[in-house]
Structures are given as structure tokens and as C-alpha cells.
Structure 1
Amino acid sequence: MNFLNGMTLLLVYQLVGEVTVRLLAVPIPGPVLGMVMLFLTLMIRGRTPEPVENASTALLSHLSLLFVPAGVGMMAHFDRIADEWLPITLALFFSTIITMVATAGIMQLTTRWFARPEQGGGQADE
């Protein structure tokens, strides 16, 4: 029952995200907005409820099975992928480079932002 409660809660957040996107015409996927809402809720609560933790652990333990439909879709559209291999390869390459550069920049920024000033070594600046 704990698993079902957790799955229900996860699906409710996904539904709320989807409805919000449709009503407000927000240009992001509904499940992504639902995930952000869930994240904010968990941050405010300060902990993860046991049903959500059980459901998410079960889903993550079977994550590899969730990639099967994507693999089947790639095989079903293999001819199109073969015809358009160059734009697909370039898009993957440049998006990877852009993501790595953005991640490095954000990491440096947050490292500086969260770095604590060192406590004085006995001398004061005057």
C-alpha cells in the first residue's frame, strides 16, 4: 500500500504540472513542471515521505526497463536516422559541448558563492 500511495503522489504531481501547463500555456513539458513542484515541496518539508521514497526507489531499480521503448522507437525509425545522421550527430556534439561549458561555469560560480571566507590566521587587515 505504501508503494501505491507514493506512485499516486508522483502521478498527482505530474497531473498538476500537465494541467498547469495547459491552462497557463507555459512552454515547458507538464511532467517537468510537476517534478519542479515536487522538488519544491520536498525542500519545504525538509524530508522525503516514506511512500514517495519507496516508489522512487522501486522505479529507479527498474530504470533500465524504461529505456526499452526508446530503443524500439530508434529501431522503428532507423532509416530516418540513417538519412539524417549528420544533423543528429552535430546536434548531439554541440549540445554536449554547450552543456559541459554551462555546467563548468555554474560550478565555478556556485563554488565561489558558497565558499566560506577563511577564518583569520591571527592577523587582522587594517
Structure 2
Amino acid sequence: MISTLAIILSFQLAGEVISRALALPLPGPVVGLILLLLTCILRPSVAALIRSTALGLLQHLSLFFVPAGVGIVAHWELLREHGAGLALALMGSTALAIAVGAWVFAAVARWTGSTDPDARKDQGDA
């Protein structure tokens, strides 16, 4: 388990180094995750090797939210002062992301000529 954790953390470290060295707009852990994904695709043996450790981490994923909760408590005054604005920004950005996602989905469906399978059934019945 320790060796597989070392593999996962090595990819995170490599991502940090690459992200900072190339001044990428992506965080290091995201770059590391992309590298790990590519490695798992190109070498399935790596995916098989880290599978049990990764599943163990996923089972305890809720523990990773503890530092975020501590951060909220540590900055309670700031949150009280700007909480309404933050809530409005979160709700607005969520609604915007959903709308843009729906628009992109519809555009790609039109572009690829996809149709609703239920609509085809209705046309076939007529």
C-alpha cells in the first residue's frame, strides 16, 4: 500500500513541478492526475497496481473535506462579512454552468445529427 501511495503522490509531485515550471494555468494536482490517467491508459498494469489503494482512498473521501471545514471555521468573520455575496456568486455560477452545459449538449447533438430516441419511436408509430 505504501508503494502505491508513493506512486500516486509521485504523479502529484510531477504535476506540481510541471505546472510551476511551465507556468500552466492548471493546478499541479490536476496535471498530475492527467499524467496518471494517461499512464494508466498506456500501461494498464499501473492501473491494476494502484486500484486497491485508490479504491481505499475513495471509500474515505469524506475525510478530505475536514480541512475545508476547518478553513471555514478559521475564517468565520470573513465568511459572515461576505457570505451573501459568496452564496450569490455560487448560485449564479452554478446556474450559468448548467445553462452552458445544456447549450453545448444541444449544439453537439445538432452538429452530430443526434435525435431523441423517444422522438423516433413517436414518428415510427404514426
Aligned amino acid, residue 14 of structure 1: Q
- Larger RCO (CA within 8 A; separation ≥ 6): 1
Query: Conserved in 1, the CA contact under 8 Å of 2:39 and 2:46?
Result: no
Separation in 1, partners of 2:79, 2:9: 33
Give me the TM-score of the superposition, normalised by structure 1: 0.76
Q: Distance in 2 between matches of 1:23 and 1:110?
A: 39
* Distance in structure 2 (CA, Å) of the matches to 1:12 and 1:111: 42
- The amino acid of 1:29's aligned partner reads P
* Aligned-partner Cα distance in 1 for 2:13–2:48: 21
Q: Percent of pairs identical after alignment?
A: 35
Alignment of 1:98-113 (within 5 A): 98-108=96-106, 109=108, 113=112
Partner residue of 1:119? none
1:7-86 paired onto structure 2 within 5 Å: 7-45=5-43, 49-86=47-84
Cα RMSD for the two superposed structures:
2.5
Pick which of 61-70 and 37-46 moved more: 37-46
Query: Residues 105, 42 of structure 1: CA spacing in aligned structure 2 closer, same or farther, 3 A cutoff?
Result: farther
Asked if the contact 1:5/1:52 (under 8 Å) is kept, the reply is no
Shift of 1:62: 0.6
Paired AA for residue 13 in structure 1: F
Taking the aligned partners of 2:31 and 2:9, their CA distance within structure 1 comes to: 12
In the alignment, the residues of structure 2 paired with residue 114 and residue 19 of structure 1 have an alpha-carbon distance, to the nearest angstrom, of 43
How has the CA–CA distance of structure 1 residues 8 and 27 changed in structure 2, closer, same or farther, with 3 Å as cutoff?
same
Aligned residue for 1:49, secondary structure, equals helix
Question: How many residues in Structure 1 have an aligned counterpart in Structure 2?
Answer: 114
More helix by share: 2
Unaligned runs of 5+ in 1: 116-126
Structure 1's 48 and 107: CA in aligned 2 closer, same or farther, altered over 3 A? Answer: farther
